[in-house]
């Protein structure tokens, strides 16, 4: 199984990807925005997609969208072919596309809206936190992408304040602060431990 950054050569899988997304939406009965093959191909050509292949067989896919002049990035369209589900492939694809997003847009906030509990768990493992829709991008082009979702009327009625999807956000600034604090706490503990050892050593010498 290969999980790689897609390019133009993978455009032959675009229709299969769109069909798999559409079929998943029907089976699950929940909101999944549909996409056209042309849109998927554009993502591949721009290096903004990840594809999983078992030999020449399509196994899974996910793509990147940038909004608000690159301030926000979404990992969208995560799908695994029925023949490869239940093998942990979605988690592997999600990890690769997330890392690719962080590499291409290091300062961008990475967000996701989903109705799937499995995707929420994957997001949580990567450091995403649940947020209100007001904390996500206000780029209307993104929200128009929800028009093909069966629950779009809910989004309209609430003026984009809520839907059946849960919004989740990874903020690199907050994550960096956490890393800095963790490193600081570790260094402080190390210094305190050293000081304590010196005191014990002096005490032993006096005795």
Q: What is the pLDDT of residues 39-61, one digit of tens each?
A: 999 999 999 999 999 999 999 99
Average pLDDT, the chain: 84
* Whole-angstrom distance, CA of residue 124 vs CA of residue 8: 32
Q: How far apart are CA 51 and CA 79, in angstroms?
A: 10
Residue 65 shares a structural domain with residue 158: yes
Shared domain check, 166 and 193: no
> Do 165 and 177 share a structural domain?
no
Q: Are residues 205 and 194 in the same domain?
A: yes
Q: Does residue 184 share a domain with residue 124? A: no
- What pLDDT, on a 0 to 100 scale, did the predictor assign at position 180? 43
Same domain, 181 and 91: no
113 and 93 in one domain? yes
pLDDT at 5: 96
104 plus 191 within the same structural domain = no
- Angle, helices 14-28 vs 37-45, to 10°: value is 120
Does 129 share its domain with 27?
yes
Residues 200 and 147 in one domain: no
How many C-beta atoms lie closer than 10 Å to residue 170's C-beta? Answer: 21
Reduced to 3 states (helix: H, G, I; strand: E, B; else coil), residue 76 is: strand
> Are 187 and 104 within one domain?
no
Residue 193: is its pLDDT beyond 90? no
Domain that holds residue 203: 173-207
């Amino acid at each position: 199984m290969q999980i790689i950054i897609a390019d133009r050569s993978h455009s032959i899988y675009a229709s299969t990807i769109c069909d798999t997304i559409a079929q998943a939406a029907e089976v699950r009965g929940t909101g999944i925005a549909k996409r056209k093959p042309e849109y998927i191909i554009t993502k591949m050509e721009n290096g903004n997609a990840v594809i999983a292949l078992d030999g020449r067989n399509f196994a899974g896919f996910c793509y990147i969208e940038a909004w608000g002049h690159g301030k926000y990035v979404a990992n969208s369209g995560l799908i695994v072919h029925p023949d490869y589900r239940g093998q942990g492939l979605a988690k592997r694809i999600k990890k690769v596309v997330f890392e690719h997003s962080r590499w291409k847009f290091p300062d961008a906030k990475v967000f996701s809206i989903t109705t799937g509990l499995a995707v929420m768990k994957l997001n949580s493992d990567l450091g995403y936190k649940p947020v209100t829709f007001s904390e996500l991008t206000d780029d209307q082009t993104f929200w128009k992408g929800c028009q093909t979702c069966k629950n779009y009327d809910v989004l309209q009625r609430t003026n984009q304040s809520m839907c059946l999807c849960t919004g989740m956000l990874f903020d690199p600034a907050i994550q960096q602060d956490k890393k800095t604090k963790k490193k600081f706490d570790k260094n402080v503990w190390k210094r305190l431990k050293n000081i304590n050892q010196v005191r014990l050593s002096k005490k032993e010498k006096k005795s």
